[in-house]
Structure 1
Amino acid sequence: MKTSFFKYQGAGNDFILIDHTTSPLKDIDNELVAQLCHRRFGIGADGLMFITKHDDYDFEMHYFNADGKLGSMCGNGGRCIVAFAKHLGIINKETNFLAVDGPHYARISESGDWVDLQMIDVDTITNDGEAFILNTGSPHYVAMQNDLKDFDVFTAGKKIRYNDIYSEKGINVNFVEDKGDHLFVRTYERGVEDETYACGTGVTAVAMAMAKYKNKTGHIVTAIKVLGGDIKIEFDYDGNHFTNVFLCGPAKLVFEGKTD
């Protein structure tokens, strides 16, 4: 029996989505998930998601990394699954859904291809040398880097991700260059084990780290450019706590099909 799937992308961060609202989500074949995400022998994606029913929320999001393993929160994946839920007729303009890091609110454009996703509040940012460490639903390392366009993100990111401090649990590694009117960000993602075109929890972490670095407080709106396009981050920051955090950007259906 063939399974229907949908391919979505959010600023170049691409995902396979499968509707599992009509039956319970049972044991997952992690090798099959990895195969479907493989860019040579499968559909190709940064991750795979199942959407399921939930008694207390509009739906529940289950995210798997490209390596087939259950992942932590994926921000761009969250935005894409909201667009998918609208496509399926589960939601209309707003939603409250459940993800691995807890409940999320989101609003979606009438066209269904732009999603503002509320992320978790953040209270703690630490340092590793000059880099910032924080968790925005997934753990992130944020380092400033000049000439980022020509920087070897893969080699540098992999070295940090697998060093003695982070290798056991892994960490996503973000490099940021301040361009004045926007931040340019490139990310090495654990679970994908490569640079991706965008990382939603990553750009959220970068915006927060840079607000702390610049001692900016109040309602902050940050324009972000990634390899896959433009993203906007909004939050309130009082010098200690980041609240009312929104990850805003495109979420577009690429194609749909069936797979064995």
Structure 2
Amino acid sequence: MAERTAPPVIRDSAPPQGKPDAAVVRDALGVGVAVGLSGFAFGVTSAGSGLSVLQTCVLSLLVFTGASQFALVGALAAGGNPFTAAAGAFFLGTRNAFYGLRLSQLLAVPKAVRPFAAHWVIDETTAVALAQPSRRAARLGFTVTGLTLYVLWNATTLLGALGAEAIGDTAAWGLDAAGPAVFLALLAPMLKTATERTTAGIAVLLGLGLLPVLPAGVPVLAAALAAPLVLWFQGRRMGPAAGAADPSGREKETR
């Protein structure tokens, strides 16, 4: 009898591997450097709104979320009430709490580190972490992005505040528009769907339309109504369309 041989075992020539650490670090550094340099614009805007260099730097150190910081100093520069300005900045910053819920499961950092990691939960660190294929890569991307962005943002904030203090009136140099310009530049890439772009457009119209009739800082809060307004309209539009078809997918019989 001929001896039977077992069929050859076919193995993958290259087992699947995670994303290289160098690629994660490169992507994280790119985001951290690009956004961190915009702290200069915040420093100029904050100093131009009447805050001292020390107040500006403490704001970046403790708040560390660009959109909220720009909203706060923008409202103060327009003569708004400090409490109203703080409320607008607070509502903009609440999105970071939702980011934290997702990242807490993904990163699973030790309890002792969580308070420090929470301070770095912002748009950019969340985006880099969620883009990684593994927990290890997510932790690396989050850490490198957060560290790079935190150091650069605070360093350029100081430089911008000192520069604004040295040149005096920032409006005379046209630097008062730096803050809104950077804010829009950071926001635009996040608007990926038609719903998001529509919501942003309505928010702009609400904010600009109410600017002449409401106290400074309040139009920012009113602009937040754009989100529930768009959701309500979508629900109204999809409701009749969903009810028009028979749930069974069959045409109704006519007698």
> What is the TM-score normalised by the length of structure 1?
0.23
When Rg is computed on C-alpha atoms for both structures, the one with the higher figure is: 2
| TM-score normalised by L of structure 2 | 0.23
Which has the larger strand fraction? 1
Considering Cα pairs closer than 8 Å and 6+ residues apart, tell me whether 1 or 2 has the greater RCO.
2
| Structure showing the higher helix proportion among its residues | 2
